[in-house]
Every structure is written in structure tokens, then in C-alpha cells.
Structure 1
Amino acid sequence: MPFTFSEVVVLFFTYSVIGWIWETIYCSIKDHHYDYRGFLFGPYCPVYGFAVTTILICTYRIQNNLFLLYIVGVIVATIFEYCASVFLQYVFHMKLWDYSHLWGNIQGRVAPIISLFWGLGVVFLVKIVQPFIQKIINWEEAKTHGYLALMILLVMGTDFILTIISVEKLHLSTKHWDERLNAQLKVDENKLNDRFDKLLESFSWNQKRLLTSFPHLKFTDARHFNEAKRRLISRRENRS
């Protein structure tokens, strides 16, 4: 094991934050408005932390071989992205991304072009970013003796529990609204849009953020809600 447990925790947190910054900046530029990315409340994306930490451990002995580093990076990143998609769908009934429009995709969860990009990212990460990050972590470990890792576990663990509660409430609300919509399919569309707007106003900050920052977010058991959300987003894009 190339890292101590506390180093693994700090690495996980550091790259979760870096992943959140990268994704927030990229998606905000792409969507032409600020997107507070990430599944949790805090400014971090655990999927990046898990993936990068695993990659650093798995590639520790081959980091001087760029070809093997790239191949392992592609494989590990792809597996993580697929597993994260399955986890979100079957645990929270949510889909946050969809690669169905890309060639060679697998169930819209992963796609070759995305995986190849992750491979390049891994090489850049291991050879350029990680040496600098490791120096900071070595300094932090000498100063805090692992207490920072404990604090990270407490904060992110609490965040995860609160997020589960928030998402479950959102899921129950969308299912309830979906049932009402299914019973009133002949209601005027404008009236339905108004009702949808009022529904959004009743959601918490985090629930609204998930709906607006992830335009491809879908609930697998709320088809009518997904369609109403899609029409609302399309309507707002046409206005802008």
C-alpha cells in the first residue's frame, strides 16, 4: 500500500474538490449559466475522489510507463463511471448523465470517446498534478497527524446522510406529481407548466439545484415528470 489510511482520505477529499471545481467551471461555461455541480451539498464530487485515489493506488508501480498508465486509467475510470451510474439509478432512481447519443456507448452510461478522454486526464493527473498535491499532503500529515482525515470523514459522512434524505424527499415529490399528471393528461399544457413551476418553488435549495444543474437528470419511475421537466427547460432555453 503506497499510502497510509489518512493519506488516502485526504487524497480522496482533495480530488473530490478538484473534480467539483473542474466540472462546475466546464458545465457553467457550456450551459451559459452557473451550475453548482456535484451530488452532495458540499463543493466536492466523490466519484472523482474515488476514481483518482483508486487509479493512484493501482498505477503506483507502472507510473513510469505512459502506455500502461493510459490503459489502466481508461479501464479504471470507465468502470467507476459505469458503477456510479448504476448506483444512482438503482439506489436513487436517478440518471445524471446520458451518453446514448455517442458512438459505442453502453446503456448510455459510458462511451469510448469519454473513456479515452479520461485516460488522457489520468496521465496528466499522475505526471503533473499528483507530485504537487503529494507535497502538500506530506506537509499536512506532518502537521495534523491524521486529524484532518478524521474531520473529512465526519463532514462528508454527515453530508452524505443529509443528501440521501433530501434526494429521497425529492423522489417522493416527483412520484406524487407524476401520479397527478398521469391522471390529468388532458389538462391544458400551459396550466401544467404553471403547476410545474409551483412545484419547483416548493423544493429545497439542494433539490432545485439538482434539477437545474443536471439537465439530463431523470427519475426512472416518473416518466411524466421527466417529460414536464424537459418541456420546461426547452421553453426557458427558447426564451433566452
Structure 2
Amino acid sequence: MPYTFSELVALFFTYSVIGWLWETIYCSIKDHQYEYRGFLFGPYCPVYGFAVTTILVATHPFQNNIFLLFIVGAVVATLFELIASIFLQKFFHLKLWDYSNLKWNFQGRIAPEISLFWGIGVVALVKFVQPFVQKIIDWEESYTHGYEAIIILTVMGVDFIATIISVKKFHTSTQLWNTKINDFLDKHKAELDHSKLHAELKKHLPSLHPHTQLSWNARRLIRNFPKLKVIDANKFNEMKGDILAYLKNMM
């Protein structure tokens, strides 16, 4: 193993924070508004931490061969993206990204175009970023002697549990909204103008409100992940932007 356990934890945390910074800055600039990215409450994206740490370990024997580094890096990163997508859908009923519009994608979860980006990113990471990050971690290790890893695991563990609770409540709220909307459609289907169905639903949001609150984290996820879908709440997905605006006006 090229890294000690405490170094792996430090690498995981460092790249989780770097990943959060990258996504937050990039998406904020792209969408012309501040977006607090990441799935957890804290300013880190564990998927980047897990992916980069695994990539660094998996590519260690190939770090002097650019071609193999690119291939192994692209494969490992793509597998991580696939696993993360399946995990979010299975355990949280969420889909945060969708590559269905890209050629040769697989279930909208991964796509060759994105894998190419990951491969190039891994080469840049190993050759230019990691040497600098490793110097910082070596300096930290010399002062903390591994105790930093315990603090990181404790903080992120508590955050993960809090996020699970928050997302479960979010899922319950989406189900209530979805049921209310479907009940309304069933009750009034004969009298509704289906060419203006979205507008009709938007107009009736106050009466459809199930009087359950969407937490700050739930509203953040909806606002900052435009492609977010709750797998078993199609009507909520269609109206989520309007619901978010309605709830914001109520506050």
C-alpha cells in the first residue's frame, strides 16, 4: 500500500473539499448564481474523495506511463460514477445527474464523453495536483501524528447520518406532494384543460400543499441540482421548481 491509513483519510478529505470547491465555483459561474453544491451538509463532496483516493491507489503502479494512467484513471472514475448513481437511486430515490443527452450513454449514468474527461483529469491530477497536496499532507501528518484522521472521520460520519435523516424526510415530503397532485388530477380530470395542465397545477399549489416543510437541505438540493429527480414521484419532479418558488414566497 503506497499510503498509510491516516494519509488515505487525509487524501479523502482534501479531495472531497477540492471537489466541492470545483463544483461550487464552476456551477455558480455557469448558472450566474451562487450554488452550494454537494450532497452532504458540509463543504465537501465525498464522491470526489473516494474516487480520487481509489484512483491514486489503483494508478500508483502506472504513474510513470501516461497512456496507462489515462486508461486506468478513466475506467476507475467511470465505475465510481456508475456506483454512486446506483447508490443514490437505490437508497435515496434520487438521480442527481443525467447524461441521457450524450451519445452512447448507459442509463444516463455514465457516458464516453464524460469518461474521456475523467481520464484527462486523472493525468492532470497525478502529475500536477497530487505532488503539491502530498506535501501539505506530509506536513500535517508530522504535526498531528494521525489524530487528524479521527477528527475527519467523526465529523463526516455525523454529517452523513444527519444527511440520511434529512433526505429521508425529503423523500417523505415528495411522496405527500406527489399524492396530493395525483389526487387533484383524478378528482378534476374531466374539467381541467390538459393543454394548460402545468399552469392549472401551479395555480392550485396552495390547496395542494400537504403542510409538510422542505428543509433547507431539501430546498438546496432542488435549487442546485436542476436535473434532480425523485425516482418514485414523477408529478413532484414536474412541479418541483414551482413548488420551491411557492414555498419561498410563503417564508
* Same-fold status (TM-score > 0.5): yes
Residue equivalent to 1:202: 213
Question: Who wins on radius of gyration, i.e. which is larger?
Answer: 2
Identify the match of residue 203 of structure 2 among 191, 206, 213.
191
Residues 24 and 36, structure 2, Cα contact 8 Å, conserved in 1: yes
SS in 2 for 1:150: helix
Q: How many residues align?
A: 234
Runs of 5+ in structure 2 lacking a partner? Answer: 193-199, 246-251
Identify the match of residue 221 of structure 1 among 216, 223, 232.
232
**Pairwise CA distance, 1:190:** 3.2
SS in 2 for 1:61: helix
**Pairwise CA distance, 1:192:** 3.4
Residue equivalent to 2:40: 40
Residue equivalent to 1:237: none
**Pairwise CA distance, 1:189:** 2.5
Q: In the alignment, is residue 102 of structure 1 matched against residue 102 of structure 2? A: yes
Give distance in 1, aligned partners of 2:85 and 2:62. Answer: 28
RMSD of Structure 2 on Structure 1 (CA): 2.0
Give distance in 1, aligned partners of 2:222 and 2:210. Answer: 12
Q: In the alignment, is residue 212 of structure 1 matched against residue 218 of structure 2? A: no
Give distance in 2, aligned partners of 1:132 and 1:214. Answer: 31
Runs of 5+ in structure 1 lacking a partner? Answer: 235-240
SS in 2 for 1:215: coil
Residue equivalent to 2:116: 116
Taking structure 2 as the reference length, what is the TM-score of the superposition?
0.88
Give distance in 2, aligned partners of 1:62 and 1:100. Answer: 32
Identity of aligned residues (%): 64
Residue equivalent to 2:64: 64
**Pairwise CA distance, 1:61:** 1.2
**Pairwise CA distance, 1:205:** 1.2
Q: Deviations over 1:29-72 (max 9, x none)?
A: 11111110000000000000000000000111110100000000
Residues 200 and 208, structure 1, Cα contact 8 Å, conserved in 2: no
